[in-house]
Copies of this chain bind each other. A is one copy, B any other.
Amino acid sequence: MSDLSCQVPLPPAGLRARFRRGDLVRPTAGLAPGFVQANLVVLPRALAFDFLVFTQRNPKPCPLLEVVEAGCAEPRVMAPGADLRTDVPKYRVYRDGVLVEEPIELTQWWNDDLVSFLIGCSFTFESALLEAGIPVRHIEQCTNVPMFITSVQTVPAGAFHGPTVVSMRPVPAEKVVRAVQVTSRFPAVHGAPIHIGDPAAIGIRDLMRPDLGDPVEVRPGEVPMFWACGVTPQAVAMSSKPPLMITHAPGHMFITDRRDADFSVL
């Protein structure tokens, strides 16, 4: 990793080329700053309509950036010329809801019946929070953001249903309003928080024991803020146990050519 951090940042296409060649396999946090990174979900065509309706009904956990139809692997809107079969640093392949492999490219799994979905990622609004002077604890601590499975149910669609997963960021009380405003400007990448304050109100028992990711310190005078999380669609898709589902490996996102700023509504 150090060879990358000491260089001029590679542009998205340069990074994707290294992922494609297989000579770079690492989490993408901090790479290509200013460019949107995306969650990937790939499903058989028979489930694609239901999943698409699911994302429409649940825009906060599932902010859909692009749909790539069956028979195509190029996300023409978010990264023209890229190839979703090779340009993610690491993938996960699930069969009937069970993780069977973590390949670095998809040649052996791909077929023309697969539809791909790119879903927004909170990296985009975290940059905006930092620029607004709002600290982001898990970035300070160099850990993964703490995530919780809540009692807030998503709106079901066809085979897809399940709880909303949230990420938590503790924010100084005097900056909570600003954090709402800043993230509200990014509805395409989870947008405003879904809850502020008491974790129990959304079914979270212990803030220091996240279901996914790492715990972070909540200091006196800080308020926990909860945003819908991009893990939700994967968790929900898995609950329907599709014959084949492919996603990015956690933290190993698809890096697009679109800028974070393009996804602000104001």
Closest CB of chain B to A39's CB: distance in Å?
Answer: 15
- Taking the closest CB of chain B, its distance from the CB of A94, in whole angstroms, is 22
Query: Given the complex, which residues of B lie within 8 Å of A157, measured CB to CB?
Result: 67, 69
Contact B52 A181 (CB under 8 A): no
For residue A155, which residues in chain B have a CB less than 8 angstroms away from its CB? 77
Count of residues in A whose CB is under 8 Å from the partner chain = 22
Asked if B53 and A265 sit within 8 Å, CB to CB, the answer is: no
Interface residues of A in 21-71 (CB under 8 A from B): 48-49, 52-53, 56-57, 64, 66-67, 69
Complex contacts, A192 vs chain B, CB 8 Å: 265
Which parts of A128-169 form the interface with B (CB within 8 Å)? 155, 157-158
Segment 69-106 of A: residues with Cβ below 8 Å from B: 69, 77
A185 to chain B, nearest CB (A): 7
Chain B: CB-nearest residue to A67:
B53
The reply on A191 being an interface residue by CB < 8 A is yes
